[in-house]
Amino acid sequence: MRTQNEIIRRLLTPTGDTWAVVGLSSSRMRAAHGVAALLQRKGKRIVPVHPRAETVHGEPGYASLSAIPFPVDVVDVFVNSAAAGAVTDEAVAVGAKAVWFQLGVIDEAAVERARAAGLEVVADRCPAIEYARLGGDPAGGG
C-alpha cells in the first residue's frame, strides 16, 4: 500500500485529470474557491459540486457527484466532517479513483470505507499546502 506522501505526489503530478470539488461555490471567501483555482492552474479539470450547482472558474457545477455525466478521478471533500461519509459513499458509487479529505475534514470510518473500496485516500491535507511543500513541483523538483 502506498504511503500518504506517495499518493499525494501521484495525485498532484499529472495534468488533465478531473477533480470534483465537493462544497465548491462561487463564494470567493471560501477556501475551496482558492484551492480549486490553484488546481485548475496546475492543469486539473475542476468540477464544482454544490447543491446550488453554480458555475465556478468557468466550469459548470453539479448538485451531486452522481449528477456529473463523465468520470471523476479525484473527489476533493470540502464539506464538514459530518457530511464527509455520505460524500465518500457517493465517490465510491460513481467510480472515483481517489478521495482527498481537506484539512480538518475528519471521518476515520469514511477513510476506511474508501480504502476498502480500493480508492486512494489523502486525509486531513490541502492540495495548495502540498504543492508548496513539494516546492511547487509535485514531482519533487524546484
Q: What is the DSSP string of 25-69?
A: -S-TTSHHHHHHHHHHHTTPEEEEE-TT---BTTB--BSSGGG-S
Task: Give residue-wise pLDDT tens across range 11-48.
Answer: 998 888 999 999 999 999 999 999 999 999 999 999 99
Q: What is the pTM of this model?
A: 0.92
Task: Give residue-wise pLDDT tens across range 37-90.
Answer: 999 999 999 999 999 999 999 999 999 999 999 999 999 999 999 999 999 999
